[in-house]
Amino acid sequence: MSLNLRTVARAVLPVVLLLGLSACGGGGAKVEASTTTMGQELMDLDASYKKGLLSEDEYNSARKKIMKKYN
């Protein structure tokens, strides 16, 4: 009894596909898209600075990072 390539492929392909699909995305990690805008980030940063939570240098550095992130 000899097996040809087509017979072997028909038997093996479904198993390979099922194993491949079972390994996809099973980690349960939740990915959420951020809806924060540049304006909101800058307003939050400004509020933190006005409350005294950030130094002027920290504020300026964070502001530059936000601006760079959106441009």
pLDDT tens, N- to C-terminus, the chain (71 residues): 556 767 766 776 677 666 666 655 656 667 677 788 999 999 999 999 999 999 999 999 999 999 999 88
The C-alpha atoms of residue 45 and residue 5 are separated, in whole angstroms, by 64
54 lies in some domain: yes
55 lies in some domain: yes
Per-residue confidence (pLDDT) for residue 17, from 0 to 100: 63
Least Cα distance to 39 among 66, 9, 6 occurs for 66
Tokens standing for 7?
């017979």
Per-residue confidence (pLDDT) for residue 51, from 0 to 100: 96
70 lies in some domain: yes
45 lies in some domain: yes
Range of the structural domain that residue 68 is part of: 35-71
Q: Is 30 helix (H, G, I), strand (E, B) or coil?
A: coil
Single pTM value for the model: 0.53
Per-residue confidence (pLDDT) for residue 14, from 0 to 100: 73
